[in-house]
Chain A
Amino acid sequence: MKLGKFKEIVLLALVILLSIFLRFYKLGSIPNGLYVDEALTGYNAFSILLTGKDEYGKFLPLAFRFFGSYSPPFYVYLTVVAVKIFGLSIFSTRFSSAAFGVIGVILVYFFLKYSDLFKFKYLPLIGAFLFSISPWAIFFSRAGYEINFGFIVLSLGILFLWLGLRKIKLIPLAYIFLSLSSYGSHLNRYLIPILAALSLVYFKKELFSKAAKRFTTLGLIFAFLIQIPNLYLFLTPAFNTKGDLFYQDLLTTQLSKIHGLLPQFLSYPLSLIREFSARYLTYFSPRSLFLLEDPDIQRSAPGLSPFYFWMVVPFLAGLYNIFKERKILFSRFIIFLLLVFPVPLALTSEPFSSQRGLHMLLPLVIVITIGMGALFKKYGKIAFLFFIILSLISFIFLWRSYFVLLPFERAKVWGYGFDKLTQEIVNNPKITYVIDQERIKPFYIEFAFFSKLSPEKLQNSVGGKIKENYYTNIVFNSSYKFQNIETRGVEWEKDIYKEQILVGDELTISESQAMEHFLTKVFEIRDPVNEIVFVGYKTDPTTKCLRTNFESIYCRKI
């Protein structure tokens, strides 16, 4: 082994170690809490492990009903293994996602290793390093739901597609992994058919050459066979639960503005093209990529954008170089990804979704790496020195935003306090708790997770109706009743006349309501910022009835 090769392996090992550290350090406590999507994943994995059925009693579902969203199933099944090894915990729920985050680093390395754009030896290592420290990659690697897993399987398909364009025997693997990735995350269900179809057109020369034709056909046949469960789902309402994300209302508003001056057959396409283009462009906008947090505060760390601000320079340099070398196959491949990947995103109403758009991370990291390579080539050691200094500064920003501020400021949105509330309820098995569901995320699943509730109990609480019409009964109801809890909206006319504890957030029960109905505060749970997350009030039906001269019909029982 040559020293150069040895050095490369050592450096790659260091990058992988760094990525392991950034993805696994305090994984069970940062993010601080357990987001409901994580609770669904973890508990359903636990339920599958113990009973082979999900929370509704459905045997090995093709898509999990999760609050009516019918999430692709692979990540839950993968989490079964982690739950088996580590037990049901926040760590085990996030484990597979973090592990796949590390695999992503290796994929980026190989992707760049076999590129033909730059013959710069350390380019794959730089790419792997940039991916490993990317806030976007780290954030979703540490979230215990399917999104990162779906992204990495998709990236594996993309890697094989790229390798397959050079070595035709690998083409079937590309379409197999791409097809499999549609069971990894929601977006892939829509992206993969578009991507596969357009790849056949865009790389027609390579994929349908005399030698490659049969491998491409074989890959497509396998891909089709893998899609059979999805085709079955396609015939049910469970497939398209995200259809309401399209911005039809916005188009209607815009149409009303043009109405009268332009005919409908012109005004609709014009409005659609404008909205589509604006949303498409925002996934390349420096402001969205290098400055702003995600519009949804659950999906980013305070003050941290998908990439560090300084990466805008290699990003622009990368775009320039890729376009300049657009005749080279690797550039064509990256341009293809950049053009196709935002298409489904531009059809959704969210202004910028780092979660739904996670797959953009792959081509964007490649672009930034290419730009880095171009800057190294042009400015040599000075560029390298800047790279080192700015990377070190990035670590400080990452530490500040992700490891200091996120667990402090965003604890509430990440489901902080559900474990404490569960403990309170478990400690008092004889008291009934009513958990208000107006603003609080569905509590039943958090309770099931933290109390390690026997899956049979939860399955029995929903009855057999949902199980029988699993893929057609898509309306979710967060009202549950099992053990000593009820999750629903507070019914003021009834609930104050029963001996129980009403639990809500800081807005559910005002002080005047508490006084009026003789409610006594028995506990409150606060987040690290010291804001109330949950507050529990004990009812006093006897006093209430006495003071109101037994006016209510519910006083008769007392």
Chain B
Amino acid sequence: MISLLISLFANLWIYKIFAVNFLLGTLVLLAAILLVKNNKFFLLLFIPVLFFQIQTTNRPSLTAISNDDRRVIDMRLRAYPPKFLRLGYWLEERKESIIFSRVVTNLFENIDPNLYFFANSPRQRVGIKEFEKFPYVLLPFFFLGVYSFFSKKDKLFWLMSFLVPITILSIIGSKNSLGPFSLFPFFVVSINEGFRKLQTKYLKIFIFVLVLVLIQIILYEIR
């Protein structure tokens, strides 16, 4: 129980979501709880969360070329030897290449643990206000939880809670003031699992440290 409470509420993310949209916050929270219980009704709540993610994310085009992109493409095409210019065109200018490159960028931005536990520090993105979604002391529990789930046989919902949002986020990007919140249930269930696995006898000390870290990241956020 304590592990669930910690993974659900000992983070800034859920409060940010609630502050912006109470309905979304409720949906995300309930979806996370049902995922922890491995309840199939999780999907019923998860679909609207995904819908919210798509609707509230500022989706830049996967194919549009800005003036600066154009300048870079033209400059790069000049670098190719004449006999490889056609290949250069494929690599630099073809829509397929541009889409592929943007999808890969979106994918890697969203699977980066630093994004969730360190506000993307030390490699913050330009033009995006980063925030610490989970306190960094929960990171080892998250990794342990992911490892534990991978070793399990019954992991369909857990896999879905990661793969479906990550696929969507790879296409739509993550320009959303709340971040990739459709992954919140995945993080909660993984941290919860890790916490359960690592039944610590130093729980009181851990909670004390967690409170300190929460104070630290809240102060970083507001000051």
Residues of A within 8 A of B (CB): 254, 257-258, 261-262, 266-267, 270-271, 273-275, 277-279, 281-282, 284-288, 290-292, 295, 302, 309, 312, 320, 323-324, 351-352, 396, 400, 404-405, 407-409, 528-529
Contact = CB atoms under 8 A, between A and B. Distances in A.
A351 B123 contact: yes
A258 B109 contact: no
Given A257-B219, A324-B151, A409-B76, A352 B108 contact: no
A277 B137 CA distance: 10
Given A291-B108, A408-B78, A352 B113 contact: no
A390 B115 CA distance: 28
B207 interface: no
Contacts of B78: 408
8 contacts: A278-B122, A281-B117, A282-B122, A285-B112, A286-B112, A351-B122, A400-B88, A407-B79
A320 B101 CA distance: 27
B39 interface: no
Interface in B131-165: 136, 139, 147, 150-151
Given A309-B108, A405-B76, A409-B75, A281 B118 contact: yes
Contacts of B212: 262, 266, 270
Interface string B42-84: 0000000000000000000000000000000001101111001
Label chain B's interface by main secondary structure.
Answer: helix
Give the interface size bracket for B toward A: 35 or more
Interface of B: 75-76, 78-81, 84, 87-88, 91, 104-105, 108-109, 111-115, 117-118, 121-123, 136, 139, 147, 150-151, 212-213, 215-216, 219-220, 223
Contact of B113 (A254, A281, A323, A405): A281
Given A282-B123, A288-B123, A320 B76 contact: no
Contact of A287 (B91, B121, B123): B123
B75 to A, nearest CB: 6
Q: Which 9 A-B residue pairs are closest in the complex by CB-CB distance?
A: A351-B122, A408-B79, A291-B108, A278-B118, A287-B112, A257-B223, A278-B121, A287-B108, A351-B123
A534 to B, nearest CB: 21
Contact of A295 (B88, B114, B123): B123
A323 B81 CA distance: 47
Label chain A's interface by main secondary structure.
Answer: helix
Contacts of B104: 291, 309
Contacts of B115: 287
Contacts of B80: 404
B220 A254 contact: yes
A201 B139 CA distance: 26
Given A287-B115, A320-B150, A404-B80, 11 more contacts: A267-B216, A277-B118, A282-B114, A282-B123, A286-B111, A290-B108, A291-B108, A352-B122, A400-B88, A400-B91, A405-B76
Contacts of B223: 257
Nearest to B213: A270
Contact of B139 (A281, A290, A351): A281
A33 B21 CA distance: 55
B102 to A, nearest CB: 12
A408 B79 CA distance: 6
